[in-house]
Amino acid sequence: MHFALIAGEASGDLLGGALIPALRARFPDARFSGVTGPRMLAAGCESLASIDRLSVMGIAEVLPKLPDLFRLRAELIEKLSADRPDVVIGIDAPDFNLGLERRLRERGLKTVQMVSPTVWAWRQGRVKTIARAVDLVLCLFPFEPKFYAGHGVKAVYIGHPLAEELADPLSRAEARQTLGLPAEGPVLAVLPGSRGGELARLAVPFAQTAALLARQLPGLTMVTPIAKPSLRPVMETAIAAHAPLVNWKLVDGQSRAAMRAADAVLLASGTATLECLLLDRPMVVAYRGSLLTYFLLSTLGMLKTKHVSLPNLLAAEPVVPEYLQDAAQPAVMAEALHALIEDGQARDRQLAQFGAVRDELRRNAALASAAAIAELIAAR
């Protein structure tokens, strides 16, 4: 058996890294190749290209990358059409993967999309593209298969791999010791994003928020995980200009340890919000996209959900404060964080919702995915 996996960013690499061993358990002699990150490489996947070529987000942000993305897609179509893998599995990155999957499916290859595009939230017309592109959608969230059932697309709910991966976290005390943080006193984890564009837009308001909060809570310590060395100067500059007196520690990577060490978390909207939920940490979410991206989403009515963060989409009731674009003001974010750190009721209200979501998402997603893919192969 030969499986081709195309991951689009760090979260896709995590999913692919978990799926490969589950498939290998069913197909011991299987070969794996594709667009990879470090987790997939460690699991034994041959790299055809790095996920760094696909790690771009937003409408305006992707434009300069289009020539290289088109080149990569053409390279993969040629390579995989010649190699004829038994199944091509696109992991997230739908704007790239669905076009690739459609062309490969037209050439007779079986295609699977792992992680549903957010068609239930915006650009719902994409479901027609999905129906042409894939034989199966593997859904991470429980409400997604119902949406696809109404459009004639085969979809299976597998739960979320992170729910198992983060089920037994380090204690707060252990995480603080690991990162060299004070054992006592409040700690705020600040995660302004892992992409350069995110960090450029959120570093300053997050630093200003931290400065306000530090004045309200003596002894407060900030910790920020830096996803890539190239991003460190951006955060250092923002801290020096807007929070020079704040006790602030930057660490390389270790985002989960930073969240585990914290009493509350301020972070950019994205997969990290789900990790924060699974680690049982209360949070405030913010996001600032480019002006063009925000205009297209808001003015043209492309966004179909009231909330953007995964915890609010998954919980029975929205409990996480969200501040988007101009609403991401330091004063209001500091006030919301102060309540989570000091007010037990505000914190407990979030954590009660998080517990129910964690229980729902724990479905052994990698094994469920492998089973669904094996069924697809058997049906062929």
CA distances from 232 to 206, 214, 225, 237, 247 (A): 14, 21, 9, 9, 17
What's the sign of the alpha-carbon dihedral 64, 67, 68, 69?
A: positive
42/316: higher pLDDT: 42
Asked if 308 and 322 count as a contact pair (C-beta separation under 8 A), the reply is yes
Q: What is the rounded CA–CA span in Å between residue 303 and residue 307? A: 9
231-275 tens-digit pLDDT: 999 999 999 999 999 999 999 989 999 999 999 999 998 889 999
pLDDT of residue 138: 98
Q: How confident is the model at residue 194 (pLDDT cuts 50, 70, 90)?
A: confident
Q: How confident is the model at residue 309 (pLDDT cuts 50, 70, 90)?
A: confident
pTM, entire model: 0.76
* Residue 109 in this model has a pLDDT that exceeds 90: yes
CATH of 2-161+362-379, one of 3.40.50.150, 3.60.21.10, 3.40.50.2000, 1.10.10.10: 3.40.50.2000
Are the folds of 2-161+362-379 and 172-361 the same?
Answer: yes
Q: How confident is the model at residue 55 (pLDDT cuts 50, 70, 90)?
A: low
* Residue 34 in this model has a pLDDT that exceeds 60: yes
Domain ranges of the chain: 2-161+362-379, 172-361
Which top CATH class is 172-361? Answer: alpha beta
Asked if 81 and 217 count as a contact pair (C-beta separation under 8 A), the reply is no
